[in-house]
Chain A
Amino acid sequence: MAKYIVKRVLLAIVTLFVLASIVFVLVRLLPGDPFSNPKMTPEIRANLEAYYGLDKPLPVQYVTYMKNVFRGDLGYSMKYEGRTVNRIISESFPFSADLGIRALCFAFFFGIILGIIAALNRGKKLDFLCILIAIIGTSIPDFIMGSLLQYFFGIKWQLLPVAQYTSFRHTILPSIAVGFYTLASVSRLMRSSMLEVVTSDYTKTARAKGLSEFRVTFKHQIRNAITPIITIMGPTVAAVLTGTFVIEALFAIPGMGKYYVDSINMADYTLVLGMTIFYGAFLVIAILIVDILYGIIDPRIRLSGKKA
Chain B
Amino acid sequence: MENLLEVKNLTFSFHTYGGVVKAVRDVSFEVRPGEILGIVGESGCGKSVTSSCIMRLNPEPPGFFEGGEILYKGNDVLKMDKKALRNIRGTEIGFIFQDPMTSLNPTMRIGKQIEEVFVGKKNMSAAEKKQKALEILKLVGISDGERRYKQYPHELSGGMKQRVMIAIALVGSPSIVIADEPTTSLDVTIEAQILDLLKNLQKTLGTSIILITHDLGVIAKLCDRVLVMYGGKVVERGTVDEIFYETAHPYTKGLMQSIARLDTAKGEKLKPIEGTPPDLFSPPVGCPFAARCEYCMDVCIDTPPETYTLSEEHKTCCWLQHEFAPDTDIKKTVIKKGEVE
Residues of A within 8 A of B (CB): 200-202, 204-213, 215, 219-220, 223-224, 297-300, 303
Contact status of A202 and B106, CB under 8 A, knowing A215-B119, A299-B154, A300-B152:
yes
Q: Indicate which residue in B82, B85, B104, B119 contacts A205 across the interface (CB closer than 8 Å).
A: B104
Looking across the interface, which residue of chain B has its beta carbon closest to that of A222?
Answer: B107
Known: A204-B97, A299-B152. Is A212-B104 also a contact (CB below 8 A)?
no
Would you give the shortest CB distance from A127 to chain B, in whole angstroms?
Answer: 14
**A303 B154 Cβ-Cβ under 8 A:** yes
* B105:A202 contact, CB within 8 angstroms: yes
Choose among A207, A215, A303 the residue with the greatest number of B CB atoms under 10 Å from its CB: A207
Minimum CB distance partner of A202 in chain B: B105
Q: Is there a chain A Cβ closer than 8 Å to B103's Cβ? A: yes
B113 CB → nearest A CB, Å: 8
Residues of B within 8 A of A202 (CB): 102-106
Q: B165 to chain A: closest CB distance in Å?
A: 7
Partner of B117, one of A200, A210, A223: A210
Known: A208-B55, A299-B154, A303-B154. A224 touches B97 (CB 8 A): no
Looking at B38-46, B86-94, B296-304, the stretch in contact with chain A turns out to be B86-94
Q: Does B221 reach chain A (CB closer than 8 Å)?
A: no
Interchain CB contact (< 8 A) of A220 among B90, B99, B105:
B105
Residues of B within 8 A of A303 (CB): 154-155
Query: Quick one: closest B residue to A209, CB to CB?
Result: B90
19 A–B contacts, CB within 8 A, in A order:
A200-B102, A201-B97, A201-B99, A201-B102, A202-B106, A204-B103, A205-B97, A205-B165, A208-B55, A208-B97, A209-B168, A211-B86, A211-B90, A211-B120, A219-B108, A299-B106, A299-B152, A299-B154, A300-B154
Instruction: Return B85 CB to nearest CB of chain A, in Å.
Output: 8
- In the complex, what's the smallest C-beta–C-beta distance from A194 to chain B, in angstroms? 14
In the bound complex, do residue A210 and residue B97 qualify as a contact, i.e. CB atoms below 8 Å apart?
no
Known contacts A202-B102, A224-B106, A298-B106; A209 and B97 CB within 8 A of each other: no
Residue among A208, A210, A215, A299 with most chain B CB within 10 A: A210
What's the minimum C-beta distance from A224 to chain B, rounded to whole angstroms? 6
Q: Is B95 interfacial (CB-CB < 8 Å)?
A: yes
Complex CA distance for A299 and B112, rounded to whole angstroms: 14
Report yes or no: B103 in contact with A210, Cβ–Cβ below 8 A.
no
Asked if B116 is at the interface of the complex by the 8 Å CB criterion, the answer is yes
Return the CB mask of B220-249 against A: 1 if under 8 Å, else 0: 000000000000000000000000000000
B260 within 8 A of A: no
Contact B152 A215 (CB under 8 A): no
Please tell me if B271 contacts chain A, counting CB pairs below 8 Å.
no
How big is the B interface, by class?
20 to 34
Which residue from chain A places its CB closest to the CB of B101 in the assembled complex? A201
Find out whether the CB atom of A204 lies under 8 angstroms from the CB atom of B57. Answer: yes
Contact B102 A212 (CB under 8 A): no
Is A210's CB under 8 angstroms from B91's CB? yes
Minimum CB distance partner of A226 in chain B: B107
Report how far A297 CA is from B108 CA in the complex, Å: 10
- Is the CB of B121 closer than 8 A to any CB of chain A? yes
- A297: chain B residues within 8 A (beta carbon): 107
Question: B57 and A208: CB pair below 8 A?
Answer: yes
Take A201-B97, A204-B57, A297-B107 as given contacts and tell me if A209 and B154 are in contact as well, using a CB distance cutoff of 8 Å: no
Q: Once bound together, how far apart are the Cα atoms of A213 and B56, in whole Å?
A: 14
Q: A205-B105, A219-B116 are in contact. List 10 more A-B contacts (CB 8 A).
A: A205-B97, A208-B95, A208-B97, A209-B168, A210-B85, A210-B87, A210-B90, A210-B172, A224-B105, A300-B152
Residues of B contacting A210 with CB < 8 Å?
85-91, 117, 120-121, 172
Find the B residue at minimum CB distance from A214: B120
Across-interface contacts of B103 in A (CB, < 8 A):
201-202, 204-205
Return the chain A residue nearest B103 by Cβ: A201
Residues of A within 8 Å of B154, CB to CB, are 299-300, 303
Whole-angstrom CA separation of A300 from B109 in the bound complex: 12
User: Would you give the shortest CB distance from A101 to chain B, in whole angstroms?
Assistant: 27
CB neighbours of B86 from chain A (8 A)? 210-212
Residue of A nearest to B165 (CB): A205
Q: A211 touching B116 by the CB < 8 A rule?
A: yes
A209 to B85, CA, bound (A): 11
CB distance from B94 to the nearest CB of A (A): 8
Instruction: List the B side residues contacting A207 at CB < 8 Å.
Output: 57, 89
Expressed in whole angstroms, the Cα–Cα distance for A204 and B52 within the complex equals 10
- Which residue of B89, B104, B121 contacts A208 across the interface (Cβ within 8 Å)? B89
Chain A residues with Cβ below 8 Å from B88 are 210
Q: What is the bound-complex CA distance between A223 and B120, given in angstroms?
A: 21
Residues of B contacting A206 in the complex (Cβ-Cβ under 8 angstroms): 105, 116
Nearest CB in chain B: distance from A284 CB, A? 27
For the complex, give the distance between the alpha carbons of A299 and B153 in Å: 9
Question: What are the residues of chain B within 8 A of A205 when measuring CB–CB?
Answer: 95, 97, 103-105, 165, 168
Contact with A along B276-299 (1 / 0, CB 8 A): 000000000000000000000000
Q: Which of A200, A211, A303 has the most CB of B within 10 A?
A: A211
Closest to A123 in B: B61
Q: Give Cα distance in the complex from A204 to B99, angstroms.
A: 12
* B96, chain A: closest CB distance, angstroms: 9
Q: How far is the CA of A300 from the CA of B108 in the complex (A)?
A: 11
How far, in whole Å, are A168 and B91 apart by their CA atoms in the complex? 51
Q: Hey, which chain B residues are within 8 Å of A215, CB to CB?
A: 119-120
Do A211 and B119 contact each other (CB < 8 Å), given the known contacts A300-B106, A303-B154?
yes
Q: Which residues of B contact A211 (CB under 8 A)?
A: 86, 90, 116, 119-120
* Residue numbers in A under 8 Å from B108 (CB-CB): 219-220, 223
